[in-house]
Amino acid sequence: MADPGRATTSQHLQRLNGAIEEIEDVCTGCETNLKKTTQALRYLLEENKALRAELKVVVDRLAFVEAVMDIEEEGGNEDRAERAGTGTGEGTGEDTDEGTGELASEPVLDSKANVVNLTYLRLSGAEKLVKRYLPDYPGEDEEWPLDPATGQRYLCCKWNASARDRVNTEGLTALRDAVRASGALRELSRRLGA
C-alpha cells in the first residue's frame, strides 16, 4: 500500500510548481507592460515638452500683439477693430483722407485702436495689418527697409519674440511716442466731441 502522506506531498508540490509558473508568467507580463509604459511615458514627456515650447511662443506673440493693440479685455478691441475695418486686412483708406494721411472726419467705433493701427501702418510702411504685409525684423545680412519719402528706417518687430524683447520694447516705445507726438488721439477726441 502506498503511503498516503507521500501522495499528498506530491500533489502539494505540483500545485506549488503550477503557482510558481503562473507567478512567473504574471511577472513577465508586468515587465513587458512596464517597458511599454516607460516608452509611452517618454514619448508623452517629449511631446509635452515640445507643446510647452510652442505654447510659450504663442503666449509671447499674443502678449506682443495685445501690447501693440492695447487690448485689455479678451476680444474687446479685436471685435471693434473688425467692425471699424481696421486690423482685418481691409483697406485703411476709409479711415484716412486719401493722400494726406490725416484722420477722416467721420467717427470710428474704437478711436484708440484705430489711431494706434494707423500710426503703426505709417511707421512700419505696411499696407495692411495682415501678417503677410507686416515687415519682419531684418537679419544681419539684410538691409533695413526705409521710408522712400523720408529715408528713415521703418519700424520692424521680432514677431517670434515677446513684447519684453529689447527690439520690440524699443518699437513699442517709438509707436507710443509717435501716437502721443502726433496729437492724433486728442484731435480725434475733439472731433468726436468727447
Please report the pLDDT score of residue 100 as a whole number.
Answer: 43
C-alpha cell at 138: 531684418
Taking 80 as the threshold, does the pLDDT of residue 18 lie above it?
Answer: yes
User: What is the arithmetic mean of pLDDT over 107-127?
Assistant: 73
User: What is the arithmetic mean of pLDDT over 127-141?
Assistant: 82
Please report the pLDDT score of residue 117 as a whole number.
Answer: 80
C-alpha cell at 103: 484722420
What's the distance, Cα to Cα, between the start and end of the chain in Å?
118
Please report the pLDDT score of residue 30 as a whole number.
Answer: 93
Please report the pLDDT score of residue 6 as a whole number.
Answer: 67
Question: Higher confidence at residue 103 or residue 38?
Answer: 38
What single DSSP character describes residue 38?
H
The residue whose grid cell reads 516705445 is 173
Please report the pLDDT score of residue 74 as a whole number.
Answer: 43
For residue 112, what pLDDT band results from cuts at 50, 70 and 90? Answer: low
Please give the mean pLDDT across all residues of the chain: 74
Please report the pLDDT score of residue 188 as a whole number.
Answer: 58
- What number of H helices and E strands is found in the chain? 5, 0
Please report the pLDDT score of residue 75 as a whole number.
Answer: 44
Please report the pLDDT score of residue 183 as a whole number.
Answer: 61
For residue 99, what pLDDT band results from cuts at 50, 70 and 90? Answer: very low
* pTM of the predicted protein model: 0.40
Taking 70 as the threshold, does the pLDDT of residue 109 lie above it?
Answer: no
Taking 50 as the threshold, does the pLDDT of residue 59 lie above it?
Answer: yes
For residue 5, what pLDDT band results from cuts at 50, 70 and 90? Answer: low
What single DSSP character describes residue 131?
G
83-94: b or e for each residue (b if 16 or more CB lie within 10 Å)?
Answer: ebbbbeeeebee
